[in-house]
Amino acid sequence: MITGAASGIGRATAIATAARGGQVFLTDIAERGLEEVAAQIRESSGGAVSYVKALDISDYEAVLAMAEEIHVAHGSLDIVMNIAGVSAWGSVDKLEHRHWQRMVDINLMGPIHVIECFVPAMMEADRGGHIVNVSSAAGLLALPWHAAYSASKFGLRGVSEVLRFDLRRNDIHVSLVCPGAVATPLVDTVEIAGVNRDDPRVQKLVRRFESRAVSPESVADSILAGIEKNRYMVFTSRDIQIGYWFQRKFAWPYELVMRIANDQLTAVGRRASWQDS
């Protein structure tokens, strides 16, 4: 099962999984993109696309109905990948309630719905298995303006950490994927609350982000390698791995770096606000 399969990391992972002989079950809220990736898999690799359904993973009843359809027709699954996600950034005075709510509904409750509906059947089947939860560098580090996004991604990290041990006796492994910059459509669509994205200073930051971004295909390879090697923490770029190590080994220098980064971004945000544009 792969959520968020219509674009970005989800799409690349679906294609890579099918190319390796995986029988894939795909979902995403974007119906057209979902149909396109399913057709691409069938035409290019002859992969087994066993199920395709467009739905919103924040809708528990929809996820439950999907799980029931799959379990009746195919039985329990072996691997479940929670990849679907959205992002919004901004300082706490600019973020609106809808930003916080959307982050939690999709990035945290969405994976929880999938886990609720698919993992008990995996446990009952007693064949083992693997759960992949895509968190973020923002689920490890105190990135500026990421409070709402981090709330959801740190939450998913907590769920993963507990399930890692809870499901060990069932031989169900858990991988927590922590991407940094990835060249996906999310880069162009992420909402920055209260900031004019067309401001040259903001565009400069976006270009800097894109210059460090890895491809979705590279992330997909990291995810599949993590499954094959039963890795819990899966890093998709070296910078995030180093940053996480630095945070744990050098608490005070880490705090200083985060303060400086926050001050710099806040200065850009003040000059690029909608009010000043």
The Cα–Cα gap between 219 and 12 comes to: 8
* 232 among known catalytic residues: no
User: Do residues 45 and 19 touch, judged by C-beta distance below 8 A?
Assistant: yes
Place of tokens 């490890």: 140
The Cα–Cα gap between 57 and 44 comes to: 28
Please provide residue 114's backbone torsions phi and psi, each rounded to the nearest 5 degrees: -65, -45
Angstrom CA distances, 108 to 7, 32, 123, stand at: 19, 24, 22
Catalytic residue among 149, 232, 244, 254: 149
Q: Which SS3 state, helix, strand or coil, does residue 141 take?
A: coil
The Cα–Cα gap between 152 and 125 comes to: 30
Tell me which residues are annotated as active site. Answer: 149
